[in-house]
Amino acid sequence: MSRRVKEMLKENNELQEQLSDDGKKVLTDIVVYLRGVPVSMYEQERVRRDITQMLIDGEKRGSSAREVIGEDYREFCDNIVGEIPHMTWKEKMFVSVRDTLPAVAVLLVIWCFGRLLEVLTGVLSTFNCPVTLGNVLGGILLLAGSEGLITLLTRYSFESSRTFNVKWGAVLAVVFIAAVCVNYLITYKLFSIHIGLGVVLALAVYGAYRLIDDRID
């Protein structure tokens, strides 16, 4: 994130400490919801600052969060977000790429570590290791599952139904189990890559993430 966003994030974290525990819980749900709306991080933090101050002022008057912002937190947030300029398709693309790159880097590190263990235990005889179709498909499933989880957490941050949580938790568990099974069961070799190059690729992907992250809000 850009420097101005980092500064505002720090200020908002400090400001939040003035709230009661109940106020912090409500604000956390609101912030999680805001992370899923198509506005820049800078605008999200501006909204967060304003809402935090509203809650603080309300608590000083003896008012609860519901008395300050109403019963429907989602509608409250949507009304505010509706007045904020949304990101362009280009900005959305950069944010999507930025958010995906760390997960790709982690998957590459896990792959390298797994192959290294196989070399050390004698399963593989060389550091030039195969990349299978299962590795690729499993990685795609894991990325999709992670993105789905984040979408659910942000879109339904105000949802407290146990049935809702169990249902979607089961769906996501199936996706992740399928990813693991695909990774190990589909062994068709696509190409080979040296573990050292895999580490370099992981570092390059992380470097690309930091480069993009420093230039967008």
3-state secondary structure 94-160: HHHHHHHHHHHHHHHHHHHHHHHHHHHCCCCCCCEEEEEHHHHHHHHHHHHHHHHHHHHHHHCCCCC
Tell me, yes or no, whether 104 and 76 share the same domain: no
| CATH number, residue 16 | 1.10.1900
Tell me, yes or no, whether 121 and 192 share the same domain: yes
Query: Domain count of the chain?
Result: 2
Q: Of all residues in the chain, what percent are helix, strand and coil, respectively (each to 5)?
A: 75, 5, 20
pLDDT for 111 equals 93
Domain hosting 62: range is 3-81
Read off the pTM: 0.80
pLDDT for 171 equals 77
Percent of the chain with pLDDT over 90: 54
pLDDT for 89 equals 87
- Given 20, 55, 81, the domain boundary residue is 81
- Given 81, 102, 120, the domain boundary residue is 81
- Given 81, 112, 143, the domain boundary residue is 81
Tell me, yes or no, whether 33 and 96 share the same domain: no
Task: Write out pLDDT tens, residues 112-163.
Answer: 999 999 999 988 889 999 999 999 999 999 998 888 888 887 887 777 655 5
Query: In tens digits, what is the pLDDT along the chain, a chain of 217 residues?
Result: 778 888 999 999 999 999 999 999 999 999 999 988 889 999 999 999 999 999 999 999 999 888 999 888 888 988 988 888 888 888 888 889 999 999 999 999 999 999 999 999 988 889 999 999 999 999 999 998 888 888 887 887 777 655 556 777 787 888 889 999 999 899 999 999 999 999 999 999 999 999 998 888 7
pLDDT for 124 equals 86
